Amino acid sequence: MERNQTVGMYAAVNGIDWSKAWEDFTKGMLRPVMALAVVAVAIGVSYSQKLGIEKEMAYSIARAFLQLSIIGFVLEFIFTQTSGLWILLAYCLMVSVAGYTAGKRAKHVPNAGYVSGASILGGTGLTMALLIGLQVFPFTPRYIIPVAGMMVGNAMTVTGVTLKRMREDMRLQQGLIETALALGATPRQAALKQVRRALIVGLSPVLDNAKTVGLISLPGAMTGLIMGGASPMEAIQLQIVVMNMLLGAATFSGVLATYFSWPFFFTKTYQLETKVFAVAD
């Protein structure tokens, strides 16, 4: 009896009964495991079509299972904490991973990882500050961490695509840019068209998603609320807020990426840094 009570006390750390949490987790994994049948069919199709990506499919879904399972327990712990430091820690971790991932996409841009990380931090941080300042969301882990995750993920994609496209367009049109520089244009003026084109390409998926939301697809936040028992009107109201913040964070991050990467494309004497464009994407 005493031993069971002791075990229970140690299990309920920081307000969480971890033994019960693990039991609920294992029971709840039944449906996700059953849904693997869809992946099995996809792997079978890949094999029959000789695509050669069966191992990658299996690895990807296994990694997703592991990552989501771990983050589930991490969030279970963070949601019980009252200190805002846990929110900031989780946010900084997300930004770091996103910056690294976006930097890998734009691998030929010098210091792409740092540029991406700083851009994502600035863009999503500004958006988050506005949302909290306007009291759209309270500063609690249950609200801020999921919201930050959506914004950071979206900004990561936009930043990576923008940097990659900007460098490639500038590489293909070096002659035009150098001519403009020779005629007295500043680096910003000489490459303005390439920068604008890169931003438009990077933001296009976000804009298309905003224009078609509700008509073609029901986004994850809205679907999750409806499946969780919320009314469709409540789900729609939240989704509108989500679309606003995603568009804002993506735009801020994309624009910051162009400014932060600027010094690496030009020399101090206002000439193109040719070694940056030596390799094609």
Mean pLDDT, rounded, for 118-127: 96
Note whether 89 and 113 are same-domain residues: yes
Share in percent of the chain as helix, strand, coil (round to 5):
80, 5, 20
Look-up of token digits 């500004």: 126
Pairing of strands 16-17, 12-13: antiparallel
Please tell me whether residues 135 and 27 are part of one structural domain: no
Do residues 197 and 254 make contact, with C-beta atoms less than 8 angstroms apart?
no
And the tokens for 253? 């991050």
Q: Where residue 161 falls among pLDDT bands split at 50, 70, 90?
A: very high
Does one domain contain both 114 and 250?
A: yes
122 and 204: one domain?
yes
Structure confidence by residue, pLDDT tens digits, 244-275: 999 999 999 999 999 999 888 998 888 888 88
The 10 Å Cβ neighbour count of residue 70 is 10
Asked if residue 64 and residue 115 are part of one domain, the reply reads: no
**E strand or H helix at 258, and its extent?**
helix 232-265
The conformation of residue 17, written as its DSSP 8-state character, comes to E
Mean pLDDT of 57-82: 86
**Residues 141 and 179 occupy one common structural domain:** yes
Cβ-proximal residues to 8 (8 Å cutoff; 6+ apart), any chain: 17, 19
Structural domain ending residue among the three candidates 80, 108, 137: 80
**What's the pLDDT score for residue 15?**
55
Better-predicted residue by pLDDT, 205 or 11: 205
- Domain holding 89, by residue range, is 84-277
Report the number of distinct structural domains present in the chain.
Answer: 2
Assigned token pair, 203: 């933001």
Which tokens go with 16? 């969480």
In the beta sheet, which residues pair with residue 272?
Answer: 266
